[in-house]
Structure 1
Amino acid sequence: MIINYLSEYITHYFLKKRINDIELFMRYPIETQNKLLTKLIVYAKNTEFGNKYKFHEIKKYKQFFERIPICKYSDLKITIDRIRKGEKNILWPGKIKWFAKSSGTTASRSKYIPVSTDSMKYGHYKAGKDMLSIYIHNHSKTKIFFGKAVRLGGSYTINKFYNTFHGDLSSILIKNLPFWAENICIPRKNIALMSEWENKLNNLIIETWNKDVRILLGVCSWMLIFLEKLLKKFNKHNIHEIWPNIEVIFHGGMNLNPYIIQYKKIFPNSINYYNVYSASEGFFAVQDQSNNENLLLLLNHGIFYEFIPIEEIHNDNPKIVPIENVELNKNYAMVISTNSGLWRYLTGDTIKFTSILPYRIVITGRTCHYINAFGEELIVENSDKALTNTCVKTNSIIHEYTAGPIYMKGEKSGSHEWIIEFKKCPDNIINFRNILDEELKKLNSDYEIKRYKNLILNPPVIHVARKGLFYDWLKKYNKLGGQNKIPRLSNDRKYIDSILRID
């Protein structure tokens, strides 16, 4: 007991000191970002990339802006493949050992984002400390460190040929977690890093049910499955019956709102929800106000930010602005330069600023149509290609289509709902659905994971649309014409419900 109290006191003390640094970059955001950019450039000046663009000559942002091109993952794939094979000093000094694997927006099935030691220490872990520091600052009487934090992470695999590692970002961070965080986290690493989800879930329940859990960390959809299984296992009505001191859920990866009714059902007593914005490329933002879900952009965590107005995203020479020139409530695509060697990298995320001084944001989506209601990151390229392959295999022809999510309800998994208007229908729509499902799994590793044993996603639901349905829908909303297109994928049910209502 004395050790627990001493550990809690030390952890609490050091995390409270982090508030000073947070308040500093909140007061001096432009100076902080400019200083960080200079530091990144100086540190990487002797890399292959730094030599190519003559980093030693860059003294001001204007030179950086004019010299370094905007890039996407497809532009870096060959270079990253070299780094994965063990080449050093390419984009960032030294050898990068870890790569966060996520579904790509290119022809690649997955993308491998380099995660340097610097980005872990001065980015992800530093941001994690700040997340806790902010919570302590907002809740001065908190006792979260007298108990445990349950973490839901991914798994990692080893590229044995090149001796590099790749896996979910969460698994990489768990594998390298500093001692101060490991001390309060459960389950143990060997359970947290299990690759087989059902086995991990059962072990997670065994490891955590009788502990004094006060913090939950994870993606809200996965967390919901775990909590509902926990309640069912012990025949309880709510989580407070198992963990009476539960206090806060730190969640990210997707919007909590579609799940909030279910969460309030299993947490009928008061509990705090704190949103975070973390991705493979970096830890970008945290919720810093207990009563406001807007996210504080982290400006001193190894990432230099630039922004492209979304209406210019497809221009050959889009307008690009640093943080001092952004406008409130304007949709921007986010561009980052990081301490893992991603230089002027287009993340694919879109955000809006809700506040300036301090800079707070909301996540507005992606730069293309997508479905990411369950962390599957399904994009139009995936759906177009999967449908093309499915039509070939079923001797069918598609005229128009759209798809959106069916949200989880109770213990029932979610799904994707498709409306497809055929020019030539398949002989068997169930067979068509099954083949489409398999094609999507082949093209998108995140979708494949979410479909595993129907834990997150059930098989797709397909409606065969009557002839002319999409035309009638466009006509109803005065959208007939070449500039108006059917939204292929949507992350909410706005379009799909609208179309179904006139069917």
Structure 2
Amino acid sequence: MKKRIHQIDLFRKYPHDVQSELFTNLLQTAKNTDWGKKYGYAEISSPEQFRQRVPISAYEDLYPEIERTMKGEANVLWPGTVSWFAKSSGTTNARSKYIPVTKEALEDCHYKGGKDMLGIYGNLNPDTKLFNGKMLSIGGSLHSNEFNPNSQVGDVSAVIMHNLPIWAEMARTPPLKIALMDKWEEKIEAMAEAAIPENVTGISGVPTWTFVLLNRILEITGKQYITEVWPNLELFAHGAVAFGPYRQLFADIIPSDKMHYLEIYNASEGFFGIQDQAGTEDEMLLMLDYGVYYEFIPADQFDVEQPKTIALDEVELNKNYALVISTNAGLWRYKIGDTIRFTSLEPYRIKISGRTKHYINAFGEEVIIENAEAAITKACEHTGAIVANFTAAPVYFEGRNRGGHEWVIEFKRQPNDLQQFTFELDQTLRNINSDYDAKRQNDLALQAPLVQVAPAGTFYRWLSQKGKLGGQHKVPRLSNTREHLEEILKLL
């Protein structure tokens, strides 16, 4: 792992050379696939030609080819057949997505990311004792592919765990048969019982479900703090949702000055970023040699059917971009749906700012997830609150009534003054989002936000009703429609 740090330093110093070489290798490898022949990969000699010939694809655009791959056809999007598919529910679309996970993607992207995460952590913390114990990994489940019994479908974490080498499996808990269980309530119980007696030094997972598991462990053991169960715990590597609203939740049950938190950007489609500096919350190094070629859609092109993209050497600091990837899993110019902004250009570091489809822009206010997370965090700081989960949606104009935003918030610790919490939430949004502020001037277009307090367990029950417990499933933070919000309001 220490040797790998030198390779990471290379792409920090020569990012464009690394991406250029990777681009050429991807096209050369895929030139004889059906997709490669269709778009003439053999004749493409530059990223400019690539952009001109190959269209931007959403999942729906690529699905016909993915379905052929799932049925066992070879050489469709990537050479050979594909044995694994990561099932991603998506939070704006009830239909599941099935993302191919090729051998190359598994080895050169997902596993490489996992090893680099540990290598970077060790480099930042040379006195670590992380490797003296076990890593608690919270994963999803696997099942046979309905189209082809020779391949498997499941959460990307389950695909990764199932294929781990024996040495890595020995270094993690719980055992694979428990980690891959599909009934989430039973799985939490089994995971807790299996992990409690172990010397857990690190945890990797989604904050939402990790917190549920840790709370259950405290209930079973009768302990007040997780450090009483695992005194050597020192790392939580987290991803999938912003950690800001969860930070205090974890600090309350893990009151240790030796505890470290490491942000990672991993998804069904690939592993993209790792926090490589201490004390830089949510800021990650963009990993450039994982078999992923990056393009970026500027914010003014988000809603264009075939948007213009820019290359890595054209990005600017602190501007929102939608991420477009071409990968060694056969995803070509694929809109992943996430938006990012660059916090550094030497080296390239990013923060996840939201989703292209997860925002509120019913009145031209353009509130993105990053805005919402910052506002929630500030409101908690001012009122002593701790938020367990939240979602927000527009309140549309009705008659002479002005519009607004309605928030449903489940608190771990109630604010000492809900009115003050609402004020801070609103004020922070006004301070960081000029479009929102303009609409809020004198309640011109938007009234003050309406905050509904949800009883404990409300979001868990909603996810359970939707069949979306565990794995990569998460509550949609923002929506431009009221569909999710209305379903949750019925549970209050």
TM interval, short-chain normalised: 0.7 to 0.9
Aligned to 1:91: 77
Unaligned segments of structure 1, at least 5 residues: 1-14, 385-398, 412-436, 461-485, 493-503
Change (3 A) 1:261 1:305: same
Residue in 2 that maps onto 1:212: 199
| CA-CA distance at 1:232 after TM superposition | 1.2
8 Å CA contact 1:376, 1:450 repeated in 2: no
TM-score (norm 1): 0.74
Secondary structure in structure 2 of the residue aligned to 1:292: coil
Alignment equivalent of 1:277, drawn from 265, 268, 290:
265
Query: Residues 47 and 327 from structure 1, CA distance in 2 versus in 1: closer, same or farther, beyond 3 angstroms?
Result: same
- Map Cα deviations across residues 293-328 of structure 1 (whole Å, 9 max, x no partner): 211000000100000111211124433101011000
Superposed counterparts of 1:272-351, under 5 Å: 272-293=260-281, 294-351=283-340
Q: What is the alpha-carbon distance in structure 1 between the residues aligned to residue 483 and residue 345 of structure 2?
A: 29
Say if 1:40 and 1:174 are closer, same or farther in 2 by CA, change over 3 A. Answer: same
Structure 2: distance between partners of 1:105 and 1:250: 23
Determine the C-alpha separation between the residues in 1 that align with 2:92 and 2:215: 36
Q: What is the total number of aligned residue pairs between the two structures?
A: 406
3-state SS in 2 of match to 1:228: helix
Which residue in the other structure is 2:107 paired with? 121
With over 3 angstroms needed to count, the CA separation of the structure-2 counterparts of 1:245 and 1:447, relative to structure 1, is same
What is the CA distance between 1:102 and its match in structure 2? 1.4
Aligned to 2:82, what secondary structure does the other structure show?
A: coil
Deviation at residue 65 of structure 1 after TM alignment: 1.7
2: CA distance, partners of 1:261 / 1:324: 37
Aligned 8 A contact 1:404 1:490 in 2:
no
Which residue identity is paired with 2:110? H
Is 1:363–2:367 an aligned residue pair? no
Task: Give the distance between the partners of 1:337 and 1:87, measured in 2 at CA.
Answer: 20
Taking only aligned residues, the RMSD between alpha carbons, in angstroms, comes to: 3.4
- Structure 2 CA distance for partners of 1:403 and 1:153, relative to 1, 3 Å: farther
Matches within 5 A, 1:95-174: 95-104=81-90, 109-163=95-149, 164-174=151-161
Alpha-carbon distance in 2 for matches of 1:42, 1:266: 51
Q: Does 1:31 align with 2:17?
A: yes
> For the Cα contact (< 8 Å) 2:301–2:307, is it kept in 1?
yes
Aligned residue in 2 for 1:6: none
Matches within 5 A, 1:37-116: 37-104=23-90, 109-116=95-102
How far, CA to CA, are the matches of 1:379 and 1:406 in structure 2?
A: 9
Asked which structure has the greater CA Rg, the reply is 1
Q: What's the secondary structure of 2:2's corresponding residue? A: helix
Shift of 1:66: 1.4
Query: 1:335 is paired with a residue of what secondary structure?
Result: strand
Provide closer, same or farther for how the CA distance between residues 338 and 312 of structure 1 changes in structure 2, counting only shifts above 3 A: same
**In 2, distance between residues paired with 1:332 and 1:39?**
25
The secondary structure found in structure 1 opposite 2:468 is helix
Q: 2:257 matched to 1:264?
A: no
Alpha-carbon shift at residue 103 of structure 1 (Å) = 2.1
Give a deviation string over 1:38-86, Cα, whole Å, max 9, x none.
0000001110001111111112222212111111011111211111111
Q: Which residue of 2 aligns with 1:247?
A: 234
> SS at 2:223's partner residue?
coil
Contact 1:370 1:377 in 2 (8 A): no
Find the aligned partners of 2:359 and 2:25 in 1 and give their Cα distance. Answer: 35
Return 194-203 or 20-29, whichever deviates more.
194-203
TM-score, scaled to structure 2? 0.76
Whether the 8 Å CA contact 2:390–2:409 is kept in 1: the answer is: no
What residue in structure 2 maps to residue 466 of structure 1?
none
